[in-house]
């Protein structure tokens, strides 16, 4: 739990007070207990000396040692009773062999648990404190020494109840004094800390408001001390900050608007690789989430594979596919290399980065400050689509040129033949036949190009009307069955009554003829299945053949203009590679969808969905 300054000040003072009391309490009670204990020991020592002296005076009558010991044993009860009456405490008399000779009290004595007797019998005085029935007692032992020999010992037993009660009373008095003084001091400390911390609290609240962006608040502390001066300085500071922040926000908004309005990705990095500025286009190119901003360091070149994964996760970089992550890593390495080149050479460098069918045109310019490079500004353009379009345009021109060249070469060749041998009727007839065939092929190619161009540019409008799709499909399969018969191919039809749909029958017929024509061209002798059925508020038309099939790696290219899987077979059967491109354009203009599934050597299935 976080403590406020006021609570900390109170806590410090209270802890200091408690520690002081503990020290005083320990010192006073310790000294009091030691003093009482010493006084008791001195008292018992005096009484013991008197007791021993009395015994010696009684039994020392010039007898030999043995007679003296016997006399001591015989008169031990008298000794214990008389001494107990004289000094007012319990007296026990022991022989040299630790035998209890006399006890002034009727209480039971267990001398086996009193090893201190051995020390007394050695001629030394000793004492020990023990609790009996919850009451402490002091046992003070002195030896009875006949010159040259210890003949026994006397043990004085003094209860310490009065001493303990006196100590407890003193402790209670100290404790009550502490509690009273603590309450008084706590009130005083609390009032003082409140007075001291109240203006500091106001300063803290104002600082929180400023941190949250509210600079309008002012502190009203009317005092002439250091805190009053601090509040005046704080008010002036907040006013200046408000003006500066407003100016910075205006300029930043202008810069942000400019950056976001640019079609190129803009990325500015400091000398340590940290973000200085970035727009949404750059985030999209790099694959960074909107939260991936400073203090992100963009160049983790020294990290291992696992460390790099951890770095990417830490900096909120989200990649849905492995290819995106690989492109990001490759791009970052290229940008890092470019960063070092630009900062070292202090010059603008333009490169095109290519990786995994993606192309990125990057212009890197040093961020100069006082003739030193303090970072790099990147201008990035994703030119993948542009390069792909350029490649497609190049391929398209090549294909068109090739397709035009073939019939034109045939026409020119037979024209030359007619010029030299046109009088020969057989050669003339053959030449006219081939000239007509080449001209028709050339005309079909030109018409297909015109259709494809008009569909792509939205110059051609379909004319949808209520059409019986089942009847239309039957008519088309009937017409195409004559061509299929030439190749020993049979149509199998499963045509359900699907009702009317809104469609341009001529364009739908053109699309279906293209598909069926391809199925016939690329199928051996066998069967082609044509199936029509209702599907999701529309119809689905499946055309399935058992032909050579399409390799999986080229399925995504099958709708490109002039693309042919088997170019030699297509040219031999009169194909130019535009049929499926035109078909897809027609289906999509009807808000439909066309898909192709195929495996090489296992045939092809074309599925068309048209809404009602």
Q: What is the pLDDT of residue 568?
A: 44
Average pLDDT score over residue span 323-351: 82
pLDDT of 18 higher than 60 = yes
Mark whether 583 and 498 lie in a shared domain: yes
Mark whether 49 and 102 lie in a shared domain: yes
Q: What is the pLDDT of residue 201?
A: 73
Mark whether 517 and 419 lie in a shared domain: no
Q: Is 285 part of a structural domain of the chain? A: yes
Instruction: Give the model confidence (pLDDT) of 538-592 as tens digits.
Output: 889 998 888 888 887 777 777 776 565 554 444 444 454 567 777 888 888 888 8
Q: What is the pLDDT of residue 317?
A: 58
Three-state secondary structure call for residue 205: helix
Q: Is 203 part of a structural domain of the chain? A: no
pLDDT of 127 higher than 50 = yes
State how far the alpha carbon of 46 is from the alpha carbons of 51, 103, 114, 609, in Å.
Answer: 9, 20, 22, 124
Angle at 250 between CA 248 and CA 251, to 5 degrees: 65
Mark whether 12 and 161 lie in a shared domain: yes
The residue assigned the tokens 């022991």 is 94
Q: Is 225 part of a structural domain of the chain? A: no
Average pLDDT score over residue span 21-42: 76
Q: In this structure, are residues 515 and 528 in contact, taking their beta carbons and an 8 Å threshold?
A: no
pLDDT band at 392 (very low <50, low <70, confident <90, very high): low
Q: Could you give the number of structural domains in the chain?
A: 4
Mark whether 323 and 395 lie in a shared domain: no
What are residue 128's DSSP bridge partners? 139
Report the mean per-residue pLDDT for the chain: 76
What are residue 93's DSSP bridge partners? 102, 154
State how far the alpha carbon of 255 is from the alpha carbons of 130, 284, 329, 365, in Å.
Answer: 89, 19, 29, 18
Integer Rg of the chain from CA: 57
Q: Is 246 part of a structural domain of the chain? A: no
CA-based nearest residue to 508, from 540, 469, 536:
469
Q: What is the pLDDT of residue 160?
A: 79
pLDDT of 446 higher than 60 = yes
Sign of CA dihedral 228, 234, 236, 238: negative
The residue assigned the tokens 């190129």 is 264
Which of 51-55, 158-162, 452-456, 508-512 comes out lowest in average pLDDT? Answer: 452-456
pLDDT of 37 higher than 80 = no
Which of 5-14, 59-68, 344-353, 506-515 comes out lowest in average pLDDT? Answer: 59-68
Q: Count other C-beta atoms under 10 Å from residue 153's C-beta.
A: 26
Mark whether 268 and 398 lie in a shared domain: no
Question: Domain range holding 152?
Answer: 5-167
Q: Burial, 33: exposed, middle or buried (Cβ in 10 Å; 0-12, 13-18, 19+)?
A: middle
CA distance 274 to 296: 6
Q: In this structure, are residues 93 and 79 in contact, taking their beta carbons and an 8 Å threshold?
A: yes
Average pLDDT score over residue span 71-81: 81
pLDDT band at 163 (very low <50, low <70, confident <90, very high): confident
Q: What is the pLDDT of residue 39?
A: 80
Angle at 395 between CA 393 and CA 396, to 5 degrees: 60
Q: What are phi and psi of 52, to 5 degrees?
A: -65, -40
Q: What is the pLDDT of residue 445?
A: 65
Q: What is the pLDDT of residue 179?
A: 82
Domain limit, last residue, from 141, 167, 193? 167
Q: Is 253 part of a structural domain of the chain? A: no
H helix runs in 359-504, sequence order: 384-421, 425-456, 469-486
CATH number at residue 566: 3.30.565.10
Q: Is 220 part of a structural domain of the chain? A: no
Q: Is 405 part of a structural domain of the chain? A: yes
For the record, the structure tokens of 19 come out as: 């520690």
Mark whether 116 and 88 lie in a shared domain: yes
CA distance 193 to 102: 70
Mark whether 409 and 474 lie in a shared domain: no
Task: List CB contacts of 435: < 8 A, sequence separation 6 or more.
Answer: 410, 411, 414, 415
Q: What is the pLDDT of residue 80?
A: 82
State how far the alpha carbon of 498 is from the alpha carbons of 309, 528, 534, 537, in Å.
Answer: 55, 21, 5, 10
Angle at 420 between CA 416 and CA 426, to 5 degrees: 95
Q: Is 199 part of a structural domain of the chain? A: no
Mark whether 328 and 435 lie in a shared domain: no
Share above pLDDT 70 across residues of the chain, in percent, rounded to a whole number: 79
Average pLDDT score over residue span 115-131: 75
In this structure, the chain runs to a length of 612
CATH number at residue 415: 1.10.287.130
Instruction: Give the model confidence (pLDDT) of 400-444 as tens digits.
Output: 665 666 677 777 777 777 777 767 777 777 777 767 767 766 766
CATH number at residue 32: 3.30.450.20
Mark whether 135 and 156 lie in a shared domain: yes
Instruction: Give the model confidence (pLDDT) of 222-254 as tens digits.
Output: 666 677 777 777 777 777 877 888 888 888 788
Mark whether 41 and 162 lie in a shared domain: yes
Q: In this structure, are residues 498 and 539 in contact, taking their beta carbons and an 8 Å threshold?
A: yes
pLDDT of 207 higher than 60 = yes
CA distance 332 to 311: 13
Instruction: Give the model confidence (pLDDT) of 246-303 as tens digits.
Output: 888 888 788 778 877 777 888 888 877 777 778 888 877 777 666 554 434 556 565 5
Task: List CB contacts of 455: < 8 A, sequence separation 6 or more.
Answer: 582, 585, 586, 589
State how far the alpha carbon of 109 is from the alpha carbons of 93, 100, 294, in Å.
Answer: 12, 9, 86
Domain limit, last residue, from 328, 359, 382? 382
pLDDT band at 12 (very low <50, low <70, confident <90, very high): confident
Domain limit, last residue, from 331, 364, 382? 382
Helical (H) or strand (E) element with 324? helix 322-345
Sign of CA dihedral 300, 301, 304, 308: positive
CA distance 199 to 207: 12
pLDDT band at 457 (very low <50, low <70, confident <90, very high): very low
Helical (H) or strand (E) element with 150? strand 149-159
CA-based nearest residue to 216, from 238, 200, 188, 234:
238
pLDDT of 364 higher than 80 = yes
Mark whether 438 and 569 lie in a shared domain: no
């Amino acid at each position: 739990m976080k403590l406020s300054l006021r609570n900390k000040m109170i806590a410090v003072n209270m802890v200091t007070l408690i520690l002081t009391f503990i020290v005083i309490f320990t010192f006073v009670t310790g000294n009091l207990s030691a003093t009482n204990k010493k006084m008791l020991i001195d008292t018992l020592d005096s009484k013991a000396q008197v007791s021993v002296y009395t015994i010696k005076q009684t039994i020392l009558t010039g007898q030999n040692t043995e007679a003296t010991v016997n006399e001591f044993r015989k008169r031990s009860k008298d000794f214990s009773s008389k001494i107990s009456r004289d000094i007012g405490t319990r007296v026990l008399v022991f022989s040299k062999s630790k035998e209890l000779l006399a006890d002034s009290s009727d209480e039971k004595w267990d001398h086996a648990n009193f090893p201190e007797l051995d020390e007394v019998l050695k001629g030394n005085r000793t004492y020990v404190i023990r609790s009996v029935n919850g009451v402490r007692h002091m046992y003070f032992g002195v030896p009875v020494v006949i010159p040259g020999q210890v003949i026994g010992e006397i043990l004085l037993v003094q209860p310490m109840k009065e001493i303990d009660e006196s100590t407890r009373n003193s402790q209670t008095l100290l404790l009550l004094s502490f509690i009273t003084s603590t309450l008084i001091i706590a009130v005083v400390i609390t009032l003082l800390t409140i007075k001291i911390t109240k203006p500091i609290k106001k300063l803290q609240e104002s600082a929180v408001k400023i941190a949250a962006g509210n600079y309008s608040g002012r502190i009203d502390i009317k005092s002439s001390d250091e805190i009053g001066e601090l509040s005046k300085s704080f008010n002036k500071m907040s006013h200046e900050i408000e003006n500066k922040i407003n100016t910075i926000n205006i300029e930043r908004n202008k810069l942000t608007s400019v950056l976001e309005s640019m079609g190129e990705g803009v990325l500015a990095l400091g000398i340590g690789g940290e973000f200085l500025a970035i727009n949404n286009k750059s985030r999209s190119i790099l694959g960074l989430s909107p939260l991936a901003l400073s203090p992100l360091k963009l160049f983790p070149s020294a990290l291992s594979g696992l460390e790099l994964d951890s770095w990417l996760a830490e900096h909120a970089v989200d990649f849905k596919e492995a290819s995106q992550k690989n492109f990001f890593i490759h791009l970052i390495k290229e940008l890092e290399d470019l960063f070092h080149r630009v900062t070292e050479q202090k010059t603008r460098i333009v490169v095109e980065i290519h990786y995994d069918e993606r192309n990125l045109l990057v212009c890197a310019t040093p961020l100069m400050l006082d003739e030193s490079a303090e970072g790099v500004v990147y201008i990035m353009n994703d030119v993948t689509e542009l390069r792909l379009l350029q490649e497609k345009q190049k391929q398209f021109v090549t294909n068109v040129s090739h397709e035009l060249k073939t019939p034109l070469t045939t026409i020119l060749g037979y024209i030359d033949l007619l010029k030299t041998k046109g009088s020969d009727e057989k050669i003339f007839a053959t030449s006219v036949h081939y000239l007509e065939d080449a001209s028709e092929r050339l005309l079909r190619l030109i018409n297909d190009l015109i259709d494809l161009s008009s569909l792509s540019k939205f110059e051609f409008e379909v004319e949808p009307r209520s059409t019986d799709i089942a009847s239309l499909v039957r008519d088309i399969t009937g017409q195409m069955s004559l061509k299929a018969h030439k190749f020993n191919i049979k149509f199998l039809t499963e045509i359900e009554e699907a009702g009317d749909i809104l469609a341009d029958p001529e364009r739908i017929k053109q699309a279906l003829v293209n598909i069926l024509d391809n199925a016939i061209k690329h199928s051996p002798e066998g069967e082609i299945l044509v199936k029509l059925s209702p599907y999701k508020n529309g119809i689905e038309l499946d055309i399935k053949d058992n032909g050579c099939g399409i390799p999986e790696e080229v399925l995504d290219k099958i709708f490109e203009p002039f693309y042919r899987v088997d170019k030699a077979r297509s040219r031999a059967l009169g194909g130019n590679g535009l049929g499926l491109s035109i078909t897809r354009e027609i289906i999509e203009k009807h808000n439909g969808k066309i898909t192709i599934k195929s495996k090489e050597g296992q045939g092809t299935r074309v599925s068309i969905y048209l809404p009602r």
